[in-house]
Amino acid sequence: MRAAVVTEFGGPEAVRVVDAAAPEPGARQVRIKVVAAALNPVDAGVRAGVFGGAGARIGLGWDVAGTVDAVGVASAWNVGDEVVALVYGTAKPLGTHAEYVVVDADAVAKAPGSVDAVHAATLPLNALTAAQALDLLGLRPGQSLLVTGAAGAVGGYAVQLAAHQGFAVTGLARAGDEELVRSLGASDFVTDGVAGGFDAVLDTAVLGEPALAWVRDEGAYAGVIPQAQPASVRGVRTAAVEVGADGARLAELAQLLDEGVLSTRVAEVFALDDVVKAHARLAEGGVRGRLVLVP
């Protein structure tokens, strides 16, 4: 099978499509024939060497939408099931940017029925990150939340989920994104924060200490870069999400997508063989929605 990997770090040109043996599922695993897989900023970080691993072949891709084509023992999934999944890891030998990927069975969820695989592939990493980050904040309905980077992929899901959970959501983004952010469910929109103005901040834009200043005393802050949250001040709880594969939670998010609570955004679709072009487009910035690869 073909798979996108890096063997040395660098820019988009460091990504190579290689021939690799199709992986075989072990116990409590399934193999998915990939129909679509999103390209995320974490893939660019892996490619650039942000997470280390020099000298090894590292597979790219965390999100997958596709069809189960082989199952290991003790798996509740069946060949032919249409599924989505998160394949966690910054140093895995093969990722989802491939023709086939093996996934732990408990990381898999039934694919949403309301969208095609290209759109479904944008759900796992970004929506799970948003949902698990909101969990860290521990907000109650009616409390105020500022989402930075509200027009981005994680931020957009965070706005939708937070509004659905009954929080008073303010989205922070560039002025030109106000209509989009409000359409996602934000009741207010700002292009800059307000000192001490919110019960909590979900900092998907990775602003750090400036965003911490916008939390009220003894409020809460959550970041999206593991272990990179700013130090606590004024009694503010600070944490950062490290997304975890969770098939049951992913199934809930897929159901919310089918119910219209969540919406997906695809910016552009690339063939797997054009993965270098996709990385180059991501590096240009200004992408609204996710780039998606199809084998």
Q: What is the pLDDT of residue 53?
A: 82
Domains identified in the chain and CATH numbers? 2-123+265-294 (3.90.180.10), 126-240 (3.40.50.720)
Residue 168, CA distances (Å) to 70, 162, 189, 193, 242 in order: 45, 8, 11, 15, 25
In three-state secondary structure terms, 250 is helix
How remote is the C-alpha of 52 from its chain's centroid?
Answer: 20
Angle (CA) 14-123-198 rounded to 5° is 105
Residue 177, CA distances (Å) to 125, 145, 287 in order: 23, 18, 12
Query: Which tens digit of pLDDT belongs to each residue from 40-77?
Result: 999 999 999 999 887 789 999 999 999 999 999 999 99
Q: What is the pLDDT of residue 207?
A: 96
Determine contact, residues 221/200, Cβ cutoff 8 Å: yes
Determine contact, residues 23/101, Cβ cutoff 8 Å: yes
Q: What is the pLDDT of residue 56?
A: 85
Helix, strand, coil percentages in the chain from 3-state DSSP, rounded to 5:
30, 30, 40
Which of 65, 109, 31 is closest to 266 using CA atoms? 65
Query: Sign of torsion, CA 268 272 277 282?
Result: positive
Task: Tell me which residues of the chain have a pLDDT lower than 70.
Answer: none
Which amino acid type is present at position 147?
A: V
Task: State the pTM of this model.
Answer: 0.96
Distance between CA 282 and CA 139 in Å, rounded? Answer: 33
